[in-house]
Structure 1
Amino acid sequence: MFLYIRRVRRCQFVQLMTTCLVLSVVMVCWEQLDHSVVSHIKSYSFRYLINSFTYINNSLTVPREEARRFSNFSYLLDHPDKCGDKDVLLLLFVKSSPKNIKRRNAIRATWGNETYIKNTLGVTVKVLFALGAIETQPNDLSSPVNHQNHLIREDNLHGDLIQKDFVDTFHNLTLKLILQFHWMHSRCAHARFFMTADDDIFVHMPNLVSYLQDMSSKGVTDFWIGRVHRGAPPIRSRHSKYYVPFEMYPWMSYPDYTAGASYVVSGDVANKIYHASLTLNASLYIDDVFMGICANAMGVSPQDHVYFSGEGKAPYHQCIYNQMITSHGHVEDIYDVWKAATDPQVKKATSGLLGRLYCTAVKMTLLCKPYSVTYPCKAAFL
């Protein structure tokens, strides 16, 4: 009898401790969940009910002299004649860190190879890399001059680096965005389209060129495509890389914008963004959000393209390659993806009625999953 009572008490103690542990975990998770849910509810309410982005634009407007401090940096490396008087279908800027020479070389050898694009696709695409000045670390024994000399030698070899003398850091990404639009305005304003991309993005250039040629033949204007974020709230957690304090942006929602990893605008939109940047406070360091603010000020709205990748890599499959435009997170595998995605057999295997039916079934399996971060499920039916 005594042993039975001890056993019961022990079980009750274990149940009590388990219950306390579960409740503790739930309370911690609920606090985070509650904060996320509340911030999104506020954000969507602000976007769809209040929708006072006009007030935001007005409040961020500053005198031109003040706005000039965000663009008034000297060029360290420049190629003002890169576009010349050529018929440029696309000016493509890749945002790159000075240290990422391997990534730049991989892009030059694959999807960003201008010679391949001209000879194989029959169009002129100009690919440039946007850089800031080198930030040296406290334990870095080599001098900034030596680092810069490496970049100069790289640029002498390839002629595709555009660098200004602001420090190349995450918090200066908006300055790098402004660099790109200002460079296009002054050196390549006749390009029909402009694209910006991270240096870990894979671009299926044949598919992109075909798509842009079609858009160009239709004479599109106010054109801005990518992975669209609608009603996104500012992140207020100080632990987040994307933390934005109330002092910098006090409102509950951002204007609609496309993910900064890659997006395309038409030449007229690029010109509008340039002019918007001349009078807006660019201290907000989330560059894709600042792009959304500029576009909203000029009355331009983004359009979602299902084959612009979200945060993750696109599935490795020929049915995906057939329509993909971009995929995110490619560094070591970029050569393999380029070879597989541009193989002529891809188009053959995915064409015809049977090929299309097969690919629809495959894409449904690959894309129609909860929390997919690449392409949405609807991409399977296009």
Structure 2
Amino acid sequence: MKVKLYNGYGWKSLGPGRAPLRCPKKTGFIVLLTSVFLLTTITYISEYLLKTAVFPDTLYKKVLNQIHSYYVVPEFLSASGNQNILAPDGVQNSPTQIPIKTTDIPIYHHVAHPSNYHFILNEPDKCSQWDPFLVFMVPVAPHDVAARNAIRSTWGNESSVQGKAVLTLFLVGLSGGAEAQQQLKEESRQHRDLLQSDFVDSYFNLTIKTMVIMDWLATRCPQATYAMKVDSDMFINPENLMSLLLSPNTPRENYITGYLMLDRPVVRDKSSKWYVAEELYPEQKYPTYLQGMGYVFSNDLPEKIVEISKEVKPFNIEDAYVGACLKQLGVAPLSPPDPSQFRDYMWQYNREDFLKVITTILRSPQQLIDIWKDVKSPIKQIKLE
């Protein structure tokens, strides 16, 4: 009995009791494929083990990851799911249209530099129309409408203080979905005070957020005399702040003041939200900087900070990073004439205290509304629940 067997190249006849004929070409091809697969697997596993062994979960690794995702797919498209979001100049962005400026910025600096981000929502002519003396720039989470509305109804509603024009704007990052993005567009259309850039909005990216604020001030609002970066959970007393800025002793160049942070150690505890790895910031202490809750500065500084940031490796503590940029510039943060006006927390409400301060942190948007109403009311009508 003869049996025919297909060996991949043709039919071979086999005699009784004979093993199938082997084809060396086919066997070699299979061996080659197996070898390639094994080498690929070994390489992948080795690369993974090397990364996890050498690099902790720090900004450095996340910077590289974000650079990779930025090159491949614009973050605002991947996060929002909306392929029709436009850059401020009206040109639709795509992976091939986004200008990447890396010639004079080291790769680990690239992700934090504001030239790599684009405004989805913008108010480019706001300052030319308003001609503000002072601009409040408020970084806030996209979903935190309550905080924005509380500010709009309180200190952010002050458009003129002691005869000087004041402007308040909010900056957000990516909203995280098409529905949320549409809501932001509606909010922007209603209030005309919302800026949105295409970075992922997270606590870890506050350094990016702050640098985008500085860049907007430098490029879209150079006519302002002063600006203030102020968090969305803050009480601001604009009258006291304006008195400080209008003082003849207050410089109008290379000036920045607020709650001074002196000789602060770098946190190396990996379980802390303030952890910074040595490869990002090798010094054991930060240079003097201003607590990020709210600091005011002359408006010549944003352009200088953005430019010098090309030489300062970014790390994830935004206010300390600004301090590192200032140190590189040779600009020393100054203590305010009355340091007690820049407060962190006041644990009990006292109307007289709030009449004296410039800043303090609050617990909720509703508390801001209640305190503002009380502070602005005549003394005989005081009633705070």
Write out per-residue CA displacement over residues 230-261 of structure 1, whole angstroms, 9 at most, x where no aligned residue.
11111111121111112221211111101001
In the TM superposition, 1:284-299 aligns within 5 A as 284-299=315-330
In the TM superposition, 1:365-380 aligns within 5 A as none
Distance verdict in 2 for CA 1:333–1:176, change over 3 Å: same
Corresponding residue number in structure 2 for 1:214: 247
Corresponding residue number in structure 1 for 2:201: 168
Larger mean Cα displacement after TM superposition, 151-160 or 319-328: 319-328
The 2-side partners of 1:209 and 1:300 are apart by 22
In 2, are the aligned partners of 1:194 and 1:264 still within 8 Å (CA)?
yes
Report deviation, 1:272.
Answer: 2.1
> Do residues 237 (structure 1) and 269 (structure 2) align?
yes
Write out per-residue CA displacement over residues 325-381 of structure 1, whole angstroms, 9 at most, x where no aligned residue.
0110242211111122233549xxxxxxxxxxxxxxxxxxxxxxxxxxxxxxxxxxx
In 2, are the aligned partners of 1:314 and 1:328 still within 8 Å (CA)?
no
Q: Which runs of 5+ in 2 are unaligned?
A: 1-102, 381-385
- Aligned AA (1:299): G
Write out per-residue CA displacement over residues 89-124 of structure 1, whole angstroms, 9 at most, x where no aligned residue.
1111111000100110000000101xx432x64321
The 2-side partners of 1:94 and 1:164 are apart by 13
The 2-side partners of 1:99 and 1:221 are apart by 35
Corresponding residue number in structure 2 for 1:340: 374
Distance verdict in 2 for CA 1:64–1:246, change over 3 Å: closer
The 1-side partners of 2:122 and 2:300 are apart by 23
Distance verdict in 2 for CA 1:280–1:219, change over 3 Å: closer
Which of 84, 92, 102 is matched with 2:128 structurally?
Answer: 84
Distance verdict in 2 for CA 1:218–1:235, change over 3 Å: closer
In the TM superposition, 1:30-45 aligns within 5 A as none
Write out per-residue CA displacement over residues 285-312 of structure 1, whole angstroms, 9 at most, x where no aligned residue.
1100110011111111112232344442
Q: Which of structures 1 and 2 has the bigger CA Rg?
A: 2
- Aligned AA (2:305): I
The 1-side partners of 2:370 and 2:318 are apart by 30
- Aligned AA (2:136): L
- Aligned AA (2:159): I
Aligned-residue Cα RMSD (Å) equals 2.3
> Do residues 109 (structure 1) and 153 (structure 2) align?
yes
In 1, are the aligned partners of 2:343 and 2:357 still within 8 Å (CA)?
no
In 2, are the aligned partners of 1:133 and 1:167 still within 8 Å (CA)?
yes
The 2-side partners of 1:152 and 1:94 are apart by 18
Higher relative contact order at CA 8 Å, sep ≥6: structure 1 or structure 2?
A: 1
User: Percent of aligned positions with the same letter in both sequences?
Assistant: 32
SS in 1 for 2:291: strand
Distance verdict in 2 for CA 1:74–1:130, change over 3 Å: same
Q: Which runs of 5+ in 1 are unaligned?
A: 1-61, 136-143, 347-382
Larger mean Cα displacement after TM superposition, 326-335 or 98-107: 326-335
Corresponding residue number in structure 1 for 2:144: 100
In 2, are the aligned partners of 1:182 and 1:274 still within 8 Å (CA)?
yes
User: Higher helix share goes to which structure?
Assistant: 1
Distance verdict in 2 for CA 1:330–1:204, change over 3 Å: farther
In 2, are the aligned partners of 1:313 and 1:330 still within 8 Å (CA)?
no
> Do residues 267 (structure 1) and 299 (structure 2) align?
yes
The 2-side partners of 1:333 and 1:171 are apart by 27
SS in 1 for 2:126: coil
Distance verdict in 2 for CA 1:311–1:319, change over 3 Å: closer
Distance verdict in 2 for CA 1:239–1:100, change over 3 Å: same
The 2-side partners of 1:125 and 1:230 are apart by 30
With the length of structure 2 as denominator, give the TM-score of the two structures. Answer: 0.66
Distance verdict in 2 for CA 1:235–1:69, change over 3 Å: closer
Corresponding residue number in structure 2 for 1:363: none
In 1, are the aligned partners of 2:227 and 2:299 still within 8 Å (CA)?
yes
Which of 204, 213, 220 is matched with 1:180 structurally?
Answer: 213
Corresponding residue number in structure 1 for 2:312: 280
The 1-side partners of 2:305 and 2:353 are apart by 32
In 2, are the aligned partners of 1:204 and 1:325 still within 8 Å (CA)?
yes
In 2, are the aligned partners of 1:262 and 1:308 still within 8 Å (CA)?
no
In 1, are the aligned partners of 2:344 and 2:359 still within 8 Å (CA)?
no
SS in 1 for 2:340: coil
> Do residues 134 (structure 1) and 134 (structure 2) align?
no
In the TM superposition, 1:306-321 aligns within 5 A as 306-313=339-346, 315-321=348-354
Distance verdict in 2 for CA 1:309–1:330, change over 3 Å: farther
The 2-side partners of 1:251 and 1:134 are apart by 35
Which of 274, 284, 301 is matched with 1:252 structurally?
Answer: 284
In 2, are the aligned partners of 1:76 and 1:164 still within 8 Å (CA)?
yes
With the length of structure 1 as denominator, give the TM-score of the two structures. Answer: 0.67
The 2-side partners of 1:190 and 1:68 are apart by 28
The 2-side partners of 1:219 and 1:257 are apart by 18
Report deviation, 1:125.
Answer: 1.1
